[in-house]
Chains A and B, each alone.
Chain A
Amino acid sequence: MGQGQLTTDRRATLAEALAAVRDGHRVGLGGMTLYRRPVAAALALAAAGRRDLEIVTLTGGLETDLLIGAGCVSRLRSCYTGLEVVGFAPHFTRRAQQGTLELVEETEYTLSYAIQAATMRVPFLPMRGDLARTDLLSVRPDLKTFACPLTGATLIAVPALPLDVAILHAAAADRLGNCNLQGQLALDPHLATAAAITIVTAEKIVSTDELMAMRGGVQLAGLYVSHVVDRPGGSLPTSCFPAHRLDLAGVLAYADAAADGETWPRWLANATKACA
């Protein structure tokens, strides 16, 4: 990478940044369930009418469920999708039960290995064969078993999962795209290295010196970031440590709206308008 790119100003508006997301893209979402989720970016994708996305997230929460509810998602890869203490994620649950959402059943390990394999640019990473004692392999024909060339033991090949786009929300970033993540790190630093394009919304844009003085310092290098968007409150109602706590009342209001066919379009219209 040339020196020019190390000093590139990567600031953009949310609309400019999200223009990189096309229908049919495989999109990785940062954060975990109700913590530091890129909610504003998800609402903007919904407003833009993106379709046929494959969402990849270790655990899906409100941001994933709202994308499903807005009709943007055709396939979801996660090992858990829900609203934690608030309960089931309404759109995810309904669409799964209708059989109209393709679910790729992941575990914590399979998704971690798949992202790491993509980062390493190898076709797969080997996983111990023990998973065959569950029903996971029966719904994951892409997880193939093979004999270890060294020991003969049965192993599972977890295919690499390169992402078209990764979208994260950061506690702070500088204009070069260096990020301080804080809170739940989830798989975020690794989504960026597995993705062709990485879009970051940030609570605030600060100087590099200020960023380095924050707890954790630079947790994602701007080298891997394509666009950085100044977006205070971009994770709400999910948390962004240390700026925002989880807004539980907001999540409860979402769960009620998402579970009701009449209220849902209104919630979505209001939320997308508020973040436009």
Chain B
Amino acid sequence: MSGADLLLGNRERDQTNQMVVTMARLVEDGDFLAEGIGTFLPTAAYMLAKLTHAPNCTSLCPNGNTLMPGTRTLTLGHDEFETIPRASMWLDYLHINTSTMPAILIGGRPRWTEFMRPAQIDPSGATNNVCIGPHARPKVRLPGSAGIPDASTVARRFYYYAPRHTRQLFVPELDFCSGAGHPGTAEGNPQTITVITNLGVFETGPDGRLRVTKLHLAASRAEIEDSSGFVFDWVPDVEVALPPSAAELHLLDTAIDPRGLRFLEALTGAPRRQRLRALATEDAAA
């Protein structure tokens, strides 16, 4: 698919694919993979990991509230129809929040992997999904924090992703903290916070501050500094992340996401609405 069909530049298209493979490579075989809803990048990454190096992972699919082994093709809001008939177990949100997640997050077994999408991130990796401006009278009301406050305060390791690396995203101070940052000491959680953006990978160091650990494609130091609201430390000899292989791209374009739903996450405003309309028209005709 060309960038133009997706209403994206070719560089943004390539960055999006790079983010998916970077996330897939963070998945370990046997992981418990928690999906979001409409979070196409991590879901594509989970499917890619399952089809390559991590076939024994189980997905928690919120759309349908199911545990699901195996892989599926991404859909635009129709995941229930894929996951429910093939689920190994059917849960509700009380089970998930009082049994499944505490046993995994605090009990520590099996290994949990989930990628959340924040609206703001501060230098300690703390995040905000609640509001910009004061809570009682916000400038921008965001949809809400869902389970991020619950999970970020007890998990040892926490992942975020952000398809558009901007100064509005990486801010020196949050307007509201709904995701706990690194505690700044060797005690407390999370001990590692990793953020994957279109420009690179950012991970908390021993001092608890986010550092640049990997670059995506041709991102430069200047581009990262111009696009961030605070100054990152850099690990010595920052590597460029391994780009997607032809085989990985083929899996994404055929088995996992032939309609290119993952690219929706890189769009905003009118182009996103235009692309959604085109996809909805295809769905209605199907």
Which residues from chain A sit less than 8 Å from chain B, CB to CB?
32-35, 58-59, 78-82, 84-89, 92-93, 96-99, 105-109, 112-113, 115-116, 128, 130-131, 133-136, 139, 182-190, 215-216, 239, 241-242, 245-246, 248-249, 252
Contact B65 A248 (CB under 8 A): no
Complex Cα distance A135/B175, Å?
10
Query: How far is the CB of B6 from the nearest CB of chain A, in Å?
Result: 15
The B112-164 residues at the A interface (CB cut-off 8 A) are: 130-131, 135-141, 143-150, 152-154
Do A97 and B92 form a contact, CB below 8 Å, given A107-B150, A130-B154, A249-B281?
no
Taking CB atoms, residues of chain B closer than 8 Å to A187 are 92-94
CA distance A88 to B91 in the complex (A): 27
Chain A residues near B145: list those with CB within 8 A.
79-80, 105, 107, 134, 136
| Cα distance, A239 to B79, chains bound together (Å) | 11
Q: Are B78 and A245 in contact (CB under 8 A)?
A: yes
Chain B: which residue is nearest A135 at the CB level?
B177
Q: Given B96, B141, B147, B284, which contacts A249 in the complex, CB threshold below 8 Å?
A: B284
Task: Give the one of B64, B81, B93, B183 with max A CB within 10 A.
Answer: B93
Q: Are B92 and A190 in contact (CB under 8 A)?
A: yes
| Chain B residues in 8 Å Cβ range of A135 | 130, 135, 176-178
By the criterion CB–CB under 8 Å, are A136 and B149 in contact? Answer: yes
Q: How far is the CA of A78 from the CA of B177 in the complex (A)?
A: 17
Q: Which residues on A sit within 8 Å (CB–CB) of B153? A: 128, 130-131, 133-134
With CB as the reference atom, state the residue of chain A lying closest to B131. Answer: A96
Interface hit among B43-51, B237-245, B252-260, B272-280: B272-280
Q: In the docked arrangement, what's the CA distance between A128 and B107, Å?
A: 14
Q: Is the CB of A107 within 8 A of B139?
A: no
Are A99 and B136 in contact (CB-based, < 8 A)? yes
> Is B93 in contact with A116, judged by CB distance below 8 angstroms?
no
